Structure 1
């Protein structure tokens, strides 16, 4: 799936993209506003979609002067599943956060990065996860950690259909990579979506290396 195009999981048509816009805010939209947000689809195509959805009662149409406006009918029977689909990205992040909470003190930091974080996913995109493991977990901790990482990758694929690509660091490895100027760390710090730990902790690990450079 594409987290940035949640309705594409059930329909590849323009209808899904238009519904995603209408479900994004409790507001009215003109055809030109929908077109600017989507940056795809012609004005005529969007108008036809809105007319179809209005005929189904899912969209409410009003006219102010010569301007046609549209909004999602939140009282419609289909409104709840429509809004649930529109929120798939946040639902995914919430599931990740809840799952990683069970890792307790073995995990210092985690983030989603790459196209899943920047909103540029394609259908075949991996979902990139960045994990920092706490120090001193011992041999038994190694085995438990590996099992958790394997299960996390499985869950990401089960939830989304995309491969989960997990990049792991220990705390010491993170500091060494930061000192070496590893570009991936800059990407995570700049664009990553934190799902465990705090961004301030990550920045604190990277800051000394930044000062030396």
Structure 2
């Protein structure tokens, strides 16, 4: 799936993209506003989609002067599943956070990065995850850690249909990679979505030792 195009999981048509816009807020939209937000689809194509959705009662149409406006009908029977679909990205992140919380002191930091974090996913994109293993933990050792990582990758694929690409560091390895100027870590710092630990801790590990608290 594409986390940035949640409706594509059930329909590849322009209808899903238009619904994603309308479900993102309580505001009303003109056709040109929808078109600017989508950056795909013609004005005529969007108009036809909105006409179909109005006929289904899912979208409410109003006219202000000469301008046609549209908004999602939140009282419609289909509104709840539509809004749930529109929030698949945040649902994925919450589910990931909840699962990683169960790792307790084993995990120092985790983040989603790459196209899943920047909103540029393609259908076959991997979901990139960075994990930093805590230095001192009471876990059962390397085997237990590897089992957790394997299960995490399985769950990500089960939830999304996409392969998980997991990058692992210990705390010492993270600092060594940061000192060597590993570009992946800069990408995580700038665009990553934290799902365990704190971004402030992670960013602190990327600074020179003399400045790190």
Q: What range is the shorter-chain TM-score in?
A: over 0.9
Aligned to 1:15: 15
Relative to structure 1, the CA distance from residue 210 to residue 126 in structure 2 (aligned partners, 3 Å threshold; closer, same or farther) is farther
Q: Work out the CA distance in 1 between the residues paired with 2:210 and 2:76.
A: 53
Aligned to 2:121: 121
Q: Work out the CA distance in 2 between the residues paired with 1:80 and 1:45.
A: 25
Aligned to 1:198: 198
Q: Would you say the 8 A contact 1:4–1:120 is kept in 2?
A: yes
Listed one character per residue, the Cα deviations across residues 60-112 of structure 1 (whole Å, up to 9, x for unaligned) are: 00000000000000000000000000000000000000000000000000000
Q: Work out the CA distance in 2 between the residues paired with 1:6 and 1:185.
A: 28
Listed one character per residue, the Cα deviations across residues 13-68 of structure 1 (whole Å, up to 9, x for unaligned) are: 00000000000001100000000000000000000000000000000000000000
For structure 1, the residue ranges without an aligned partner over 5 or more in a row are none
Q: Work out the CA distance in 2 between the residues paired with 1:210 and 1:116.
A: 34
Q: Work out the CA distance in 1 between the residues paired with 2:35 and 2:86.
A: 17
Cα displacement (A) at 1:142 = 1.1
Cα displacement (A) at 1:137 = 4.1
Q: Would you say the 8 A contact 2:116–2:128 is kept in 1?
A: yes
Cα displacement (A) at 1:208 = 1.5
Q: Work out the CA distance in 2 between the residues paired with 1:7 and 1:182.
A: 35
Give 3-state SS (helix, strand or coil) of 1:98's partner.
Answer: helix
Relative to structure 1, the CA distance from residue 164 to residue 70 in structure 2 (aligned partners, 3 Å threshold; closer, same or farther) is same
Q: Would you say the 8 A contact 2:110–2:132 is kept in 1?
A: yes
Aligned to 1:52: 52
| TM-score where L is the length of structure 1 | 0.97
Tell me whether 181-190 or 137-146 shows the greater mean CA deviation: 137-146
Q: What is the alpha-carbon root mean square deviation over aligned residues?
A: 1.5
Give 3-state SS (helix, strand or coil) of 1:207's partner.
Answer: coil
Q: Work out the CA distance in 2 between the residues paired with 1:197 and 1:207.
A: 17
Cα displacement (A) at 1:140 = 2.8
Aligned to 2:157: 157
Cα displacement (A) at 1:138 = 7.5
Aligned to 2:133: 133
Q: Work out the CA distance in 2 between the residues paired with 1:92 and 1:210.
A: 38
Aligned to 1:111: 111
For structure 2, the residue ranges without an aligned partner over 5 or more in a row are none
Aligned to 1:184: 184
| TM-score where L is the length of structure 2 | 0.97
Relative to structure 1, the CA distance from residue 129 to residue 83 in structure 2 (aligned partners, 3 Å threshold; closer, same or farther) is same
